[in-house]
Amino acid sequence: MRHSLSLSMETSGLLARKINFSVLEPKTTCILALCFIHCCIVGPVFADDQLTQQARIKFEEGTRSVRERDYQNALQAFQDSYQLRPKPLVLYNAAMCQKALFRYVEAANSLRKCLDNLEDTPSDRHIRALAQQALKEIEDKIGTLILKGIPKGASVIIDGVPQRDKAIGHPLQMDPGHHQVTVSAPNRQDFKDTITIQPSQVLRLVVFLPLLPAELVIESGTKDAKIYVNDQHVGSGNFRGEFDVGPVEVKVTSKGKKDHRETLVLHPGQLSIVNAMLEPKMPAATLLVMPTHTNSSQKPLTDRENIIFAGSIGAMALGILSVGIGVGYTIKGSRDFQAGKQAGENYELHGDLAEYDRWLKIKNETLPADKKGLTIGYSIGATLITSGVLLLLQSRILGKRQRDKMSVITGVDGLSVRF
């Protein structure tokens, strides 16, 4: 389909000349109308000065490029002409070139700017009608992108172009086709995705930026040293690896050397170094305890029995209290587990990163603390109750034993001495 178009240039308000040319309609888009379709219009009015002459040259260059179907150069020429002498008609021509290049969002912006600068004259009213019609057609081709779940402080880049901060979180107009979306935020992994926008489509894209893992380096200085992180064996000698952020417990052991234990908090994207140089164990000294030779019927023995009996009762009471603490941590852990489960479901349903961070905190901090609390409570409780029972038995046995019997005392290094 061929449309005959004509442009005329006026100087000092008088018709100077007409330029007639034809534009072939591209196969994949509507006809590019550089001024008006099926009509002859008056071109932009330029005053005679140096800038005007340059603007006119650029305008004519744009019309020649259109005849050659070189819409990219035509667009550049019209934009240069508009910069020299801002005329609404020149901006309309630039919008038609942008439309031919399938840059519908830019074309719509150019048409809106053109409409804002038109005056209430017969020629401008004609341009207004055509610009409004073209804008309606172009807006039907534009899609919309809505990004969900963008964390605070994030930056968005679409097709290599950074988006303004005020545009983030609001609907973004997009040309139909494929687009590369990149979202970045401090201490989080980048989100990258290729999307396809259809004409008039509203696409909602949920953005997920997980926290960067933390890097942990453990140096023991001992080749056969065993390294544990959160009670999990991770290596020997020296170790380097990545872990989820949050508190971790490090333990390094080696035969004949003192264990190294350390608790630290790992932060996203940061390197933490643990210097676990193990020291050799010192030989233990043998402790010798001399027994007191007293008769079982004497008062000092009765006092000792009473002391041991009181100690056994106290140990069992503390043991029961510790078990109660363990029960409390068990109940708390169950509630925290349900809260974490709910936070995870909220994140999956709504893409709420606050719920994700809450779930991660419960997983890495709260639940391990609950587990540690109940384990310690039950362990200490069982130990104290057992110790109390043994002390109670010992207090009864001592009443029947004779103090003048020989006793065997064991030192801390395993050596025994008979008295």
For the chain, the domains span: 2-139, 143-206, 214-275, 299-410
Q: Name the token pair of 49.
A: 């000065």
The pLDDT score that the predictor gives to residue 55 is: 92
Query: Among 135, 103, 100, which Cα is nearest to 116's?
Result: 135
Q: What Å distances lie between residue 229 and 234, 269, 277, CA to CA?
A: 7, 18, 16
Evaluate the CA torsion angle 113, 119, 124, 126 in order and state its sign: positive
What is the C-alpha to C-alpha distance for residues 322 and 373, in angstroms, rounded to an integer?
10
Q: What Å distances lie between residue 139 and 115, 131, 143, 332, 352, CA to CA?
A: 15, 12, 8, 56, 32
Model confidence pLDDT, tens digit, residues 229-252: 999 998 888 889 888 888 999 999
Evaluate the CA torsion angle 387, 390, 392, 394 in order and state its sign: negative
Q: How many CB atoms lie within 10 A of CB 33?
A: 22
Q: Name the token pair of 412.
A: 């801390």
Q: How far is CA 50 from the centre of its chain?
A: 55
What is the secondary structure of 72-111 as a DSSP string? HHHHHHHHHHHHHS--HHHHHHHHHHHHHTT-HHHHHHHH
What is the C-alpha to C-alpha distance for residues 192 and 176, in angstroms, rounded to an integer?
19
Query: Among 23, 11, 196, which Cα is nearest to 85's?
Result: 11
Q: Name the token pair of 213.
A: 């893992």
CATH of 2-139, one of 3.30.1330.10, 1.25.40.10, 3.30.70.260, 3.40.50.720: 1.25.40.10
Residue 295 identity (one-letter amino acid): N
What is the C-alpha to C-alpha distance for residues 237 and 219, in angstroms, rounded to an integer?
7
| Count of residues making up the chain | 419
143-206: what CATH class?
A: mainly beta
What is the C-alpha to C-alpha distance for residues 294 and 342, in angstroms, rounded to an integer?
67
Residues forming a β-bridge with 179:
195
What is the C-alpha to C-alpha distance for residues 154 and 164, in angstroms, rounded to an integer?
11
One digit per residue, the tens of pLDDT, for the chain of length 419 reads 333 232 333 322 222 223 222 232 333 333 344 443 333 333 455 556 888 899 999 999 999 999 999 999 999 999 999 999 999 999 999 999 999 999 999 999 999 999 999 998 888 999 999 999 999 999 999 999 999 888 888 889 999 999 887 667 789 999 999 999 999 999 899 999 999 999 999 999 999 888 888 889 998 778 888 899 999 998 888 889 888 888 999 999 988 888 888 898 998 888 899 988 888 877 655 444 445 444 444 444 456 667 777 777 887 788 788 888 878 878 988 888 888 878 787 877 777 778 778 878 887 888 888 788 778 878 887 888 888 777 777 666 765 554 444 444 444 444 444 44
Q: What Å distances lie between residue 418 and 43, 291, 293, 415, CA to CA?
A: 122, 11, 14, 10
Q: Is the pTM of this model over 0.75?
A: no
